[in-house]
Amino acid sequence: MPNALSLRDVRAGYGETVVLEDIAFDLPERGALAVLGRNGVGKTTLLATIMGHTTFHAGRIEYQGKPIAALPVYERCRLGVGLVPQTRDIFPSLTVEENLTVARRPGRWTLERVYDLFPRLAERRSIWGNQISGGEQQMLAIGRALMGNPTLLLMDEPLEGLAPIIVETLLAVMKRLISEEALTVVLVEQHARIALAVTQNALVLNRGRIAYSGPSADLLADPQRLTSLVVA
């Protein structure tokens, strides 16, 4: 069985500016990978490159054994790659429910299942996207990505700037998605210990290159190394 996602010698950035160099890793089906590092080291760029939003200079990206580096974003979405962006990108003039249904594709994730995952969204279904809280917007961003029925979910700092009680709620959801829902997940997160606790493997970036690649548990068990890699 092929890996869900494989990168080999990937070099990418924006226009002629190269941000990522020599990025290579394999992520098995139903695996979960934490992508860590200080600010500005290329974490978001890595997700954007997998999604198709950057300039691809060299290397190879395979999704379920199929080369996708030359495919446009919409084709990657159709294949089953979903993104929860750091900016959330909620449609302000659509209701919560319209934000969800606009992204709907056939599959196991339905409106009812998303509402079951996020009861708060069901309560707010008729509210405009610009009238809900930051935590609700993050729930909506995750729910909208799930409505596309991905098998690979890219999550860019889903816990950023949220109140502790919302972080707990979203963390429980992330654990469920990783352990119960047969999703393959790439998680970019500033809360390194949280990310390591819910993933099997970790990748630490430094200046666009891989500084660590290995089991999450090993890095979590070595606080000194973890601090040296991800804390400025």
- Residue 153's DSSP bridge partners are 82, 185
pTM of the entire structure?
0.94
Determine the Cα–Cα distance for residues 119 and 108; give it in Å rounded to an integer.
Answer: 18
Helix ranges (H only) for the chain are 43-51, 73-79, 96-101, 111-117, 119-123, 134-147, 164-179, 192-198, 216-220, 223-230
Closest listed residue to residue 198, CA positions, set 161, 224, 170, 228? 170
Query: What's 72's DSSP letter?
Result: -
Question: What letter represents residue 134's amino acid?
Answer: G
Residue 100 pLDDT grade (very low, low, confident, very high; cuts 50, 70, 90): very high
* Mean pLDDT on 174-201: 90
Q: What is the mean pLDDT of residues 86-91?
A: 90
State how far the Cα of 191 lies from the Cα of 121, in Å rounded to an integer: 25
Distances (CA, A) of 20 to 15, 41, 78, 182: 12, 9, 25, 29
Residue 2 has pLDDT above 90, yes or no: no
pLDDT tens, residue by residue, 135-183 = 999 999 999 999 999 999 999 999 988 889 999 999 899 888 888 777 9
| Cα–Cα separations (whole angstroms), residue 178 to 30, 136, 168, 204 | 7, 21, 15, 20
pLDDT score of 21: 97
pLDDT of residue 1: 60
Say whether pLDDT at 189 is over 60.
yes
Q: Which residues of 58-83 are buried (b: 16+ CB within 10 A; e: fewer)?
A: ebebbbbeeebbebeeeebbeebbbb
Whether 232 has a pLDDT exceeding 60, the answer reads no
**Does the pLDDT at position 207 exceed 80?**
yes
Whether the predicted pLDDT of 200 surpasses 80: yes
Question: Is residue 93 classed exposed, middle or buried when 0-12, 13-18 and 19+ CB atoms within 10 A define those classes?
Answer: exposed
3-state SS assignment for residue 65: coil
Rounded mean pLDDT of 22-38? Answer: 96
**Which is nearest to 215 in space by CA: 14, 1, 33?**
33
Which pLDDT value is given to residue 96? 97
Q: How far apart are CA 19 and CA 72, in angstroms?
A: 20
Of 74, 77, 114, 121, the closest CA to residue 96 belongs to 121
